[in-house]
Amino acid sequence: MTSSVDFFQVIEERRSVKAYDASHKMNKEDIVDLLEVTQKAPSSWNLQQWKFFVIDEQDQKDKLLSIAYGQKQVVESSVTIAILGDLEANKNAEIIYGEALAQGRISSEIKDRLVGQINGAYSNAQVARDEAFLNASLAGMQLMLAARAKGYDTCPMGGFNKQAFVEQFEIPSRYVPVMLVVVGKAAKPGYPSSRFSIDDVTVWNQF
Ligand SMILES: Cc1cc2nc3c(=O)[nH]c(=O)nc-3n(C[C@H](O)[C@H](O)[C@H](O)COP(=O)(O)O)c2cc1C
């Protein structure tokens, strides 16, 4: 489903919303629609180093409250989507490039070279972790913009106990929690926030 919304308005309107209408529910179809857009985010080698762990049942949401240090948006929003980074995304390489080969988009030499390059890179645990965080974060941003474009509000959250989260929800060791994104309908608007000027955050050509 596509609809026409102004991209720049979406950017301007996105706020980290903390207070949600707890009576608002999103059904599975709404959530899948959002994830379909999110899934189009770019990723290194197109390995899609993310997994979306969707928490929309009330008893599961309740378990999140103490893990997120009492931040109520995890229980009041419609759904929390935990963006997990995939530490073993090199395992996706055969699938992704096998498909590209089958569709005639690449040769078998190119496929083998890419898969070898990826497995080489992933033999370094720090690279695997950096890639997981980098790419999963892009998906997180895409999720927030997609949600806003569809009329929902969001809040990205890094303020949660990662170890407790992994234990509570039995997250397999292949995945690392990167951020939670709560999605729902605002009960109160997000707080205004400011940004540094472009001059403050930009260096042209040379430090
Ligand atoms: C990685 C990350 C972690 C964040 N963690 C939290 C959090 O735990 N709780 C919260 O209320 N907001 C959290 N925020 C929201 C920021 O406070 C917010 O993005 C920032 O103040 C700018 O406001 P805006 O998003 O409304 O423009 C987080 C944002 C990011 C990007």
pLDDT digit string, tens, across residues 93-145: 999 999 999 999 999 999 999 999 999 999 999 999 999 999 999 999 999 99
Q: Quick: pLDDT tens for 60-107.
A: 999 999 999 999 999 999 999 999 999 999 999 999 999 999 999 999
Q: Quick: pLDDT tens for 152-182.
A: 999 999 999 999 999 999 999 999 999 999 9
Question: What Å distances lie between residue 129 and 50, 118, 132, CA to CA?
Answer: 12, 14, 5
Q: CB of 73 within 8 A of CB of 19?
A: yes
Q: CB of 144 within 8 A of CB of 14?
A: yes
The answer to whether the predicted template modeling score (pTM) of the entire model surpasses 0.85 is yes
Q: Which one-letter DSSP state was computed for residue 57?
A: S
Confidence class of residue 2 from pLDDT cuts 50, 70 and 90? low
Q: Kindly give the distance from the C-alpha atom of residue 48 to the centroid of ligand 1, in angstroms, as a whole number.
A: 24
Ligand 1 in contact with 181 (CB < 6 A)? no
Q: Quick: pLDDT tens for 69-81.
A: 999 999 999 999 9
Nearest CA to ligand 1 atom 7: 157
List, in order of start, the domains of the chain with CATH numbers: 7-94+124-188 (3.40.109.10)
Ligand 1 in contact with 83 (CB < 6 A)? no
Site to probe by mutation for ligand 1, drawn from 72, 134, 142, 157 as the one with most ligand atoms within 8 Å of Cβ, is 157
Q: CB of 14 within 8 A of CB of 148?
A: yes
Site to probe by mutation for ligand 1, drawn from 75, 155, 160 as the one with most ligand atoms within 8 Å of Cβ, is 155
**Across the strands, what pairs with 155?**
182
Q: Kindly give the distance from the C-alpha atom of residue 185 to the centroid of ligand 1, in angstroms, as a whole number.
A: 17
Ligand 1 in contact with 189 (CB < 6 A)? no
Confidence class of residue 3 from pLDDT cuts 50, 70 and 90? low
Q: Kindly give the distance from the C-alpha atom of residue 73 to the centroid of ligand 1, in angstroms, as a whole number.
A: 12
Question: What Å distances lie between residue 124 and 43, 118, 136, 189, 195, CA to CA?
Answer: 18, 10, 18, 43, 36
Q: Kindly give the distance from the C-alpha atom of residue 178 to the centroid of ligand 1, in angstroms, as a whole number.
A: 13
Long-range contacts, 69-74 (Cβ 8 Å, 24+): 69/159, 69/160, 69/161, 71/18, 71/157, 71/159, 71/160, 72/18, 72/19, 73/17, 73/18, 73/19, 73/20, 73/155, 73/157, 73/182, 73/184, 74/157, 74/180, 74/182
